[in-house]
Chains A and B, each alone.
Chain A
Amino acid sequence: NLHGAFFSTEWVKNVDGLYPMEPTEEWLQDKYERRILIAIQPDYIEDEAFDPWANGILLHVIMGSRVFKNTKEQLALQDAGISDDTWYYVALTMPTMVVVACVAMYFFLHLNKTHRDIHDVRQFAVNQRRRVLGTFKTFNKYKKLKNRPYSELPTHSKKSSKQ
């Protein structure tokens, strides 16, 4: 093997232009992730003269798929005893109950519309609005007022610029 390389392939035909590589667990050396450099050495370059950094490609070798940590919001929910789906059930229950109550109220009023008499309530309200205050002369404020015949009020019309 080339000095410094932890993995080297055998000499392969250049005309193929490809080589299948399978990273193994040994490459990681008990770590989860290692950064490696892959370089290719043609047969006309000696081992001593070969510089892997000249035309190498950097990449990572990892054990498996990454599992990201929970966010602060998720951790707070877990501390409150709400795990995953429970939160959605709680959030959906309240608006659902309101909708159900409105529907029930509508049907209740609809079914009882023939057994309901609010005549008194309505007449009382109307009477309150049309309350008879008495005749004009009964008001103390206007007792001394003489009932003068109606005369036309003066009108103020706009004057033209010529006037």
Chain B
Amino acid sequence: YRNAVNPRPTTTTSEVIKPWRRTIYSTQVEVVTPTVIAGVTFSAKPAVTPDPLQPWVSLDKLGNPKTVKPEIKKGRTVRGTPDYSTYFQTLHVTTLTGDEIGAHNMDKDDILVEDVFEDEDKTYVSLNPIIRCTPQRYRNKGLAKDISSEPFCTPFENVEWKIDHTYFVTWYTKFFEDPETDKIAEKVRLHAFYVKEKAHEKGFKKR
């Protein structure tokens, strides 16, 4: 004997994601309009009380989004928000003399060369819930799998995209550095080309 379980009523929502405003760079007010692409909400209004276990969005090898919910197991956070190390920081090398530092174990004429990492401007980056591409997430490609997939993280090579599905192409933003000015490219665009395949690549073997 088992109690009958009433099916949970399916609820639909007509909630429209509303624009919200924020103040950036201390004084500048701007209106942010959230957008939903392939089920992922971009530029969503942050919660009033920040949740340390806030779900984030990962991408599979095709570029399909999948939500990851962090958990606390044995006092440790499992599947937490990804850590980008210093990939999105800017390195500055500072040279300081002993006189400037005033260290007790340093002569006045000694020089200390110190690496200082400057954090990036997260004004707009923070609105993206999808995992960012870093060189750590590059995959190898080619027949011998010995060529890095840079600057792309997703999709992987030779995956199959179905039509009318949305896939996220991700790349490492700092890969595009102008060699003349040493500045990161502000804008990029993607192109798609047809590739002529050989018979054996199509699967038609010689009889």
Q: Which residues from chain A sit less than 8 Å from chain B, CB to CB?
A: 1-2, 4-25, 27-28, 34-44, 52, 55-65
Q: Which residue in chain A gives the minimum CB-CB distance to B132? A: A17
Q: How large is the interface on B (under 10, 10 to 19, 20 to 34, 35 or more residues)?
A: 35 or more
Question: Given the interface contacts A16-B128, A28-B163, A35-B195, does A59 sit within 8 Å of B188 by beta carbon?
Answer: no
Question: What chain B residues lie within 8 Å of A28 (beta carbons)?
Answer: 163
Q: Which residue in chain B gives the minimum CB-CB distance to A62? A: B160
In the complex the two chains form, is B173's CB within 8 Å of A55's CB?
Answer: no
Q: List 9 A-B contacts (CB under 8 A).
A: A7-B192, A25-B164, A38-B152, A40-B151, A42-B188, A57-B155, A59-B157, A62-B160, A63-B163
What's the nearest-Cβ distance from chain A to residue B144, in Å? 14
Separation of A22 and B63 alpha carbons in the complex (Å): 11
List the 6 closest pairs (A to B, CB-CB), nearest first. A42-B185, A42-B176, A5-B191, A7-B192, A11-B187, A44-B178
Question: Given the interface contacts A44-B185, A60-B159, A64-B162, does A20 sit within 8 Å of B168 by beta carbon?
Answer: yes
What's the nearest-Cβ distance from chain B to residue A54, in Å? 10
Residue among B162, B185, B190 making CB contact with A38, cutoff 8 Å: B190
Q: Which residue in chain B gives the minimum CB-CB distance to A61? A: B161
Q: Which residue in chain B gives the minimum CB-CB distance to A39? A: B191
- Please tell me if B170 contacts chain A, counting CB pairs below 8 Å: yes
In the complex the two chains form, is A17's CB within 8 Å of B171's CB?
Answer: yes
Q: Which residues from chain B sit less than 8 Å from chain A, CB to CB?
A: 37-38, 63, 124-125, 128, 130, 132-133, 141, 149-152, 155-173, 175-176, 178, 180-181, 184-195, 197, 201
In the complex the two chains form, is B155's CB within 8 Å of A52's CB?
Answer: no
Q: Which residue in chain B gives the minimum CB-CB distance to A43? A: B187
In the complex the two chains form, is B193's CB within 8 Å of A21's CB?
Answer: no
In the complex the two chains form, is A60's CB within 8 Å of B160's CB?
Answer: yes
What's the nearest-Cβ distance from chain A to residue B87, in Å? 11
Residue among B164, B167, B181, B184 making CB contact with A20, cutoff 8 Å: B167
Question: Given the interface contacts A15-B125, A44-B178, does A39 sit within 8 Å of B160 by beta carbon?
Answer: no
What's the nearest-Cβ distance from chain B to residue A116, in Å? 47
In the complex the two chains form, is B193's CB within 8 Å of A36's CB?
Answer: yes
Separation of A35 and B203 alpha carbons in the complex (Å): 13
Residue among A12, A21, A52, A64 making CB contact with B188, cutoff 8 Å: A12
